[in-house]
Amino acid sequence: MRASLPLATCLFALLAGLVAACGDGGPPAEPDAKKAETTETVADADSTDVGPGTVFTTAKQCGQCHREIYEEWKASYHGRAMSDPLFRELSAEVNKEECIRCHAPVTLREAGFETPIARSDLREDAISCLTCHDTGDGMAGPSQGLTGACRPVYDPQQSDVVKMCFVCHNQHDTGNEWLRGPYSPEAPEPRVRDVKTCLDCHMPEVERSIVPGGPVRKVRRHTWYGGHSITMLRKAAEIDVVSEALPDGGHRFRVFVTNVGAGHMMPTDARHRSFDTYVLVRDAAGKILLDPTDPQQQSRAHLAKFRKFYRGSGKKDTQIPPLARVDTLGEGPGYVDLPEASSGTGEAWLVYRLTPRDVLNKRSLDEGDPHDIDRLYRARVVIRKEFTYGK
């Protein structure tokens, strides 16, 4: 199952929690944590649609009780999986069945934790609460002792990332990358890293009540920050620069990237994503000798590309494994020689592209609003590392 499970989506834990992509700045502010003496149930006295015998069919129904979690989901790329402009373009305006089955799937349990099947209705709910929690008889979660209109049931499978996440997020081998990596429970001894799962990074723990008036408990965020988040991208990578004098004058500049925080390859999942390294070089007087945002100099300033290439491209994948430090894996030299650079300063850039056509320009240095449509096809400078060279 681990080697064959495909596609791109779930991991949702609505009842009490359940794994760099939505948003740009990490988790939202922590809610006020106030202890409550009332019994925690999933019944809301103000609800007009939720009550005993309710048949749950929409995420909005879940949101009447699980309000904070619902708002997180609605803003996430799970909640927006069918409306995201980039997805709509790449899926030919949602005409590809293999895309819909993970962006608007039937429940994971209905599909037997295998490759999901596309829903025929309520596709606007995308990857909804029901996708990951609905058992047919109630709502599964990792906590025991809950009662309420949605008939919550304890199911340890809710925290099994192979079942909950791999069915969609293993389409491009992301799950298997983690299983082969140093954070996996199957990593060889002696371990170099403690076990971490998808949940630890993409659904971090938070203390809060899961219904209004309920007791505060440890649960999980439902934000799934990842490849759309500058914060998560910065947690995944570090860069450093090595400059060395050339025999006939000038310097060679080499940029290394280390996958310090991703439990899988970097980048992972969609084949159109990439990390690229660039270098900006100034002389001792501050004059720019090499500028990555100058269209005339950009190709020379581009040192390496790290990417899982499209099938049939004939190119070897150049993703960075967990904990690896590399200057290139074959796509680009990893360095640039500047005979005119005797001494001065510079910057190494780690640039992230969601698609190959993302343009690197001066506006790429401005983080801006990650949900701005204008940003969809603009490269993002994730890390800028200052350095000096020469005397």
Cα–Cα distance, 369 to 375 (Å, whole number): 8
> Contact at 8 Å (CB) between 202 and 225?
yes
Contact residues for 57 (Cβ-Cβ < 8 A; gap 6+): 122, 130
Per the model's pLDDT, the better-predicted residue between 20 and 128 turns out to be 128
State the Rg of the chain over Cα: 23
DSSP collapsed to 3 states, the chain? CCCCCCCCCCCCCCCCCCCCCCCCCCCCCCCCCCCCCCCCECCCCCCCCCCCCCCCCCHHHHHCCCHHHHHHHHHCCCCCCCCCHHHHHHCCCCCCHHHHHHHCECCCCCCCCCCCCECCCCHHHCCCHHHHHECCCCEEECCCCCECCCCEEECHHHHCHHHHCHHHHCCCCHHHHHHHCCCCCCCCCCCCCCCCCHHHHHCCEEEECCCCCCCCEEEECCCCCCCCCHHHHHHHEEEEEEEEECCCCCEEEEEEEEECCCCCCECCCCCCCEEEEEEEEECCCCCEEECCCCCCCHHHHEEEEEECCCCCCCCCCCCECCCCEECCCCCCCCEEEECCCCCEEEEEEEEEECCCCCECCHHHHCCCCCCCHHHCCECEEEEEEEEEECC
pLDDT reading at 32 higher than 60: no
Mean pLDDT across the chain, nearest whole number?
A: 86
pLDDT reading at 40 higher than 80: no
pLDDT reading at 23 higher than 50: no
- Mean of the pLDDT values across residues 38-48? 39
pLDDT reading at 83 higher than 50: yes
- Mean of the pLDDT values across residues 306-334? 96
The string of pLDDT tens digits covering residues 97-152 is: 788 999 999 999 999 999 889 999 999 999 999 999 999 999 999 988 888 899 99
The string of pLDDT tens digits covering residues 348-389 is: 999 999 999 999 999 898 866 555 545 667 899 999 999 999
Contact residues for 88 (Cβ-Cβ < 8 A; gap 6+): 94
Contact residues for 156 (Cβ-Cβ < 8 A; gap 6+): 142
At 74 the pLDDT is 95
Per-domain residue ranges of the chain: 59-220, 233-389
At 50 the pLDDT is 74
Q: Domain 233-389 falls in which CATH fold?
A: Immunoglobulin-like (2.60.40)
Entry pTM = 0.84
Per the model's pLDDT, the better-predicted residue between 345 and 50 turns out to be 345
At 291 the pLDDT is 98
Stretch among 79-93, 222-236, 329-343 having the lowest mean pLDDT: 79-93
